[in-house]
Amino acid sequence: MRAFSASAILLSAIMLPATLAAGPAAAQDGKPIKIAVMNDMSGVYADFQGIGSVVAARLAVEDFGKQIGNRPIEIVFGDHQNKADIGATMARKWYEVDGVEAIVDVPNSGIALAVSDITREKNKVFLISGGVTTDLTGSKCTPNNVHWTFDNYALANGLVQAALKAGNDSWYFLTSDYAFGHNLEQAASGLVKANGGMVLGAVRHPIGTVDFSSFLLQAQASKAKIIALANAGGDTTSAIKGAAEFGLNKGTQKMAGLVFIINNAHALGASAQGLLAVSPFYWNTNDATRAFAQRFQAAHPHKNMPNEMQAGVYAAILHYLKAIKALDGDTSGDKVVAKMKELETDDPLFGKGRIRVDGRKIHPMYLFEVKAPGEMKGPWDYYKQVLEIPGEQAFRPLDKGGCSLVKAN
């Protein structure tokens, strides 16, 4: 991802869209079905979504069949640079000028909420894989959203329950200071208190923080048993590295990354041993996930294995295209999302599931532990499964989100 400059990618997205034709040139007589991947391709989340999400989108189009009727399926992509104004401008141009039918991924919950509003206004489709605020299926839900991979409630729920069972009943939060971090801290702290634990405090840091020393000192002074990281991407990696320098994991305090993914484990190496991760996907789970991972790695410029957000991009696009096909090519946003909810979800990465009326995709979540180096059977073989959390238990109950699409009983 370092090869992509922010200015170059933004130029490709807004001035000269980087279009990846998924069908042969002869199929261009029909209006293309354009799907846009929006994420961070140059900043703190670049290694966690970035060009990898574009690779996943291409694979989904390839596996679906590259066109619906005489309409080729195309992928465009752009870098929102973690700035809401850039993300909103990009979304409007894609919808109003470039003929984009759906936007997918969008890590950074503040940007995701802005894109959600624009998508509803334009009656398009928003397939959320990177954004994790529960507001997208709660107070800010729309008939044009599908929240695919996970959200803050599911991430916090699995980790909080496991930590509390182990006797870690006092918590302190180190939180990324924007919508995502605030929502994640709120979800996790609520679960801690509801299950008999105590929250001793919190401190917030800017996105892209390099030196976490002052924040970690405050967390250490709290004497909380769990220092919970309500952040993601490079911020999580940097905070855990800083904690190791302070020796926090060697005493009575433990670090817990609420959004810890395989790329964090890869960046941390042996120091990640024993850390817990909550996820709906791991590349080395079965033959189907391994087959996808091999294709993904071969196409990825840095030969990374796919993480859950990139897997979510793949699976969400597959289901989106199935819905359009079932509608005989109609791409009207509200109709497509309604059909997506009507159809059972079934793909090689997440298996069978469903989409609730609030747009929340339901599937199992898993608690993983990072293996010791001696347990790893090869590169990227970082996780071992601790337990499975059924989908109906993993995500926030339908009647607790405040979504206007949910009819009162």
Say yes or no to pLDDT of 163 above 60: yes
pLDDT at 408: 52
Kindly state whether residues 210 and 185 are assigned to the same domain. yes
β-bridge mates for residue 37, sequence order:
77, 104
pLDDT digits (tens, 9 = 90+) for 266-278: 999 988 988 889 9
Say yes or no to pLDDT of 22 above 70: no
Kindly state whether residues 52 and 159 are assigned to the same domain. no
Q: Is residue 36 part of a domain?
A: yes
**C-alpha 175: how far from its chain's center?**
17
Helix (H, G, I), strand (E, B) or coil at 189: helix
Q: Which residues contact 117 (CB under 8 A, 6 or more apart)?
A: 140, 142
pLDDT at 247: 81
Residue pointed to by tokens 């005493």: 251
Q: Is residue 242 part of a domain?
A: yes
Q: Is residue 118 part of a domain?
A: yes
- What span, in angstroms and rounded, lies between the C-alpha atoms of 305 and 296? 7
Say yes or no to pLDDT of 3 above 90: no
Kindly state whether residues 40 and 84 are assigned to the same domain. yes
- What span, in angstroms and rounded, lies between the C-alpha atoms of 204 and 181? 8
Q: Is residue 105 part of a domain?
A: yes
- What span, in angstroms and rounded, lies between the C-alpha atoms of 57 and 76? 10
pLDDT at 23: 38
> What residue type is assigned to position 128 of the chain?
I
pLDDT at 18: 40
Backbone angles phi, psi at 117, to 5 degrees: -60, -45
Q: Is residue 194 part of a domain?
A: yes
Kindly indicate the confidence band of residue 361, based on its pLDDT and cuts at 50, 70 and 90: very high
Say yes or no to pLDDT of 15 above 80: no
Contact 337, 359 (CB under 8 A): yes
Angle formed by the axes of helices 152-165 and 179-194, nearest 10°: 40
Least confident of 56-60, 236-240, 331-335: 236-240
How confident is the model over 221-228, as a mean pLDDT? 94
Kindly state whether residues 129 and 246 are assigned to the same domain. no
What's the number of domains the chain is made of?
2
Nearest to 266 by CA among 400, 379, 372, 368: 379
Kindly state whether residues 171 and 254 are assigned to the same domain. yes
pLDDT at 204: 97
Kindly indicate the confidence band of residue 14, based on its pLDDT and cuts at 50, 70 and 90: very low
pLDDT digits (tens, 9 = 90+) for 283-305: 999 999 999 999 999 999 999 99
DSSP 299-319: HSTT-PPP-HHHHHHHHHHHH
Q: Is residue 221 part of a domain?
A: yes
pLDDT more than 90, % of the chain: 83
β-bridge mates for residue 229, sequence order:
174, 257
Kindly state whether residues 233 and 170 are assigned to the same domain. yes
How confident is the model over 235-243, as a mean pLDDT? 92
Kindly state whether residues 160 and 266 are assigned to the same domain. yes
Mean pLDDT, rounded, of the chain: 91
Nearest to 337 by CA among 364, 310, 353, 357: 357
Kindly state whether residues 358 and 377 are assigned to the same domain. no
Kindly state whether residues 256 and 381 are assigned to the same domain. yes
Say yes or no to pLDDT of 107 above 60: yes
Q: Is residue 95 part of a domain?
A: yes
Kindly state whether residues 77 and 118 are assigned to the same domain. yes
Kindly state whether residues 28 and 126 are assigned to the same domain. yes
Kindly state whether residues 201 and 95 are assigned to the same domain. no
Say yes or no to pLDDT of 13 above 90: no
Backbone angles phi, psi at 20, to 5 degrees: -110, 95
Sign of CA dihedral 260, 263, 268, 274: positive
pLDDT digits (tens, 9 = 90+) for 165-202: 889 999 999 999 998 999 999 999 999 999 999 999 99
Q: Is residue 390 part of a domain?
A: yes
Look up the domain containing 77 and give its range. Answer: 6-150+285-363
pTM attached to this predicted model:
0.89
Kindly indicate the confidence band of residue 104, based on its pLDDT and cuts at 50, 70 and 90: very high
More confident residue, 166 or 73: 73
CATH number at residue 99: 3.40.50.2300
